[in-house]
Structure 1
């Protein structure tokens, strides 16, 4: 059985965070195709392209210029072609209101940006290995906030 490539998108305005994420993904034992976006507007412009290869999972930073993660999440969930995409909020914010708002708005998981490369690699690896079908059918506050 051939190994499938997992399409992943990251929208994050911090160039260092994008590069670290890319390096971490390259070290994980999953074949991936990573798309990087500098802000939410770039991500949304790509997702609505007629021939866009949709990612299996989108890592979405909350605090971005032009269009933030919350606006993207709402647009994704309100678009019939995109509404079933897996969305992982990937943010430095550990604010309860951010976590609550993204949960209510339909994000699949909330990840606090780890403060080390090893932590980041570990978090991405675990998220990519989640059984998403199980994870989304049993979606609740306890398994929404991803703790490393």
Structure 2
């Protein structure tokens, strides 16, 4: 069996954040294919396309124009085809309210956007190396917020 390529999707309206994310993913020793979108509507249009290859993990920024991360999360969880996608909230917000609300709506993990490139790389490496099939069965508040 060849190296499996991990399909990753990022929805984030901040171009600098997208660039850093792409760079960090590129430096992690996992074969990945990254698709990036500027807002939640573009993301959902992509995921719902008939020929879409569903990603192993979706990184969602909460504050985006057109359709924000929270709306995306709810729509993903309500959709028969997308329901089991692994969703990582990737946000600058560290408000308890946001963390709680995304947990309640079924996000798999919450990542505060790190303020350094090395911290970002470390966070992404940790998230990508989680075996989600096992992780999601033991989903609880203690392991929901990724602490670096």
Residue 33 of structure 2: SS of its match in structure 1? strand
Superposition pairs of residues 26-41 of structure 1, within 5 angstroms: 26-41=26-41
Q: Distance in 2 between matches of 1:86 and 1:96?
A: 21
Q: Distance in 2 between matches of 1:103 and 1:36?
A: 23
1:43 aligns with 2:43: yes
Q: Distance in 2 between matches of 1:92 and 1:147?
A: 14
**What's the RMSD between the two structures over aligned residues?**
0.5
Tell me the matched-pair count. 148
Q: Structure 1 segments of 4 or more deviating over 4 A?
A: none
| Superposition deviation, residue 125 in structure 1 | 0.4
1:102 aligns with 2:102: yes
Residue 22 of structure 1: SS of its match in structure 2? helix
Give unpaired runs (5+ residues) of structure 1.
none
In the alignment, what sits opposite 2:69? 69
| Superposition deviation, residue 38 in structure 1 | 0.4
Q: Distance in 2 between matches of 1:31 and 1:8?
A: 10
Q: Distance in 1 between matches of 2:83 and 2:31?
A: 24
Residue 124 of structure 1: SS of its match in structure 2? helix
In the alignment, what sits opposite 1:141? 141
Give unpaired runs (5+ residues) of structure 2.
none
Residue 128 of structure 2: SS of its match in structure 1? helix
What whole-Å deviation, never above 9, does each CA across 1:12-56 have from its counterpart, x for those lacking one? 000000000000001010000000000101000101000011110
| TM-score, with structure 1 as normaliser | 0.99
In the alignment, what sits opposite 1:19? 19
In the alignment, what sits opposite 1:3? 3
Residue 146 of structure 1: SS of its match in structure 2? coil
What whole-Å deviation, never above 9, does each CA across 1:67-122 have from its counterpart, x for those lacking one? 00000000000000000000000000000000000000000000000000000000
| Superposition deviation, residue 133 in structure 1 | 1.6
